[in-house]
Amino acid sequence: VARTPLRAEHLPVFDCAFKPFRGQRSISYRAHLRMMAAAQPFLSGAISKTVNLPETATVEEIEDIYLQSWKLGLKATAVYRDNCKVGQPLSDAKADKKVAPTEAVAEARPVRKRLPKVRPSQTISFSVGGAEGYMTAGSYPDDGLGEVFLKLGKQGSTLAGVMDAFSIATSIALQYGVPLEAFVSKFVNMRFEPSGMTDDPDIRMAQSMMDYIFRRLALDYLPYEKRAALGIFTAEERAEQLNESSGHASSSPAAAPAEVGDEDLGGSAPEHEVGAASVPNSVHSSAELLEAITGKTADAPLCMTCGIKMRPAGSCYVCEGCGSTSGCS
């Protein structure tokens, strides 16, 4: 204060109810009362104003406050003595807020299960519609598929680069726990070129490279129950299903013979009727039914779409199953 242009008579303007730190001045409690007394005649109720006292205030001073309040005509007076309570409402000290520690909830995240340095694998060479390729599948020691590498096209070609990137993405997904059947259900029956006949006895027709690749992986790494739900079987399993269906057909009771005249009792049925009656017992699929009806053509090709033997239609061939033609209409 000595180094400022303030005068001694100006200092009361800065007085507070309590003495500041290292200060000597404060507002007297009588000043609080006189200020309230000046405003009380203009108010119908009491004034919500607390008379703040320093910690050194005595009982006699508090008694004098209520006496002066009565003399000045105040309707109510509230008194507060500094540090008179355990919980101090008027304090400039900031207490440290202790935040209760919350238990961290562990988020379930996929964990990558890497393959060991030495792992079993198999490499398959295949051909789909004349396009050749190689597939290397590596598995975990517990026979779970863990990686797939595809080699298609020449080194540096667009097809080779795309298949390399696809192989890496599929392998990482398998190691992070994506089930193989999820890939099989998405990529089986995907149709694009090259497609057609394959050199695999279990998968004779493939609608695309992806269709063949994931059918082959399903046959090698998925159990029968999961493959059956996806409709993927080996050639041996399909043959067993046909044999079982033929066994059920032969064990079913024969139809009652039609009524015939006396003149036909000693005769025999015509040869064409016997052949026609034997057709249903030898038919096990729609393809065999079409062959039984239309006959087999030695040089007729298989349909590139559904695999059924096509029949001649002029100079071309047409499929009775899906309507596809061999190139002309």
**Residue 268: its pLDDT value, please?**
46
**Residue 149: its pLDDT value, please?**
93
**Residue 180: its pLDDT value, please?**
92
| CA dist 229 → 178, 226, 238, 243, 326 (Å) | 18, 5, 14, 20, 32
Backbone angles phi, psi at 239, to 5 degrees: -65, -40
DSSP string, 206-248: ESSHHHHHHHHHHHHHS-HHHHHHHT---HHHHHHHHHHHHHH
| CA dist 181 → 177, 178, 188, 231 (Å) | 11, 9, 10, 12
Does the reported pTM lie above 0.75?
A: no
Residues of the chain with pLDDT under 50: 254-280, 286, 290, 293-294, 298
Give tens-digit pLDDT for 178-218: 999 999 999 988 888 888 888 888 888 888 899 999 999 99
With tokens 């008379």, the residue in question is 51
**Residue 3: its pLDDT value, please?**
64
Q: Any idea where the domains of the chain sit in the sequence?
A: 8-81, 121-234, 286-329
**Residue 263: its pLDDT value, please?**
47
With tokens 């298609």, the residue in question is 152
* CA–CA distance, 310 with 207 (Å, rounded to integer): 17
**Residue 284: its pLDDT value, please?**
54
Give tens-digit pLDDT for 213-253: 999 999 999 999 998 888 888 888 888 877 877 666 555 55
**Residue 253: its pLDDT value, please?**
52
**Residue 229: its pLDDT value, please?**
86
Contacts for 210 with CB less than 8 Å, ≥ 6 apart: 187, 190, 192
**Residue 238: its pLDDT value, please?**
82
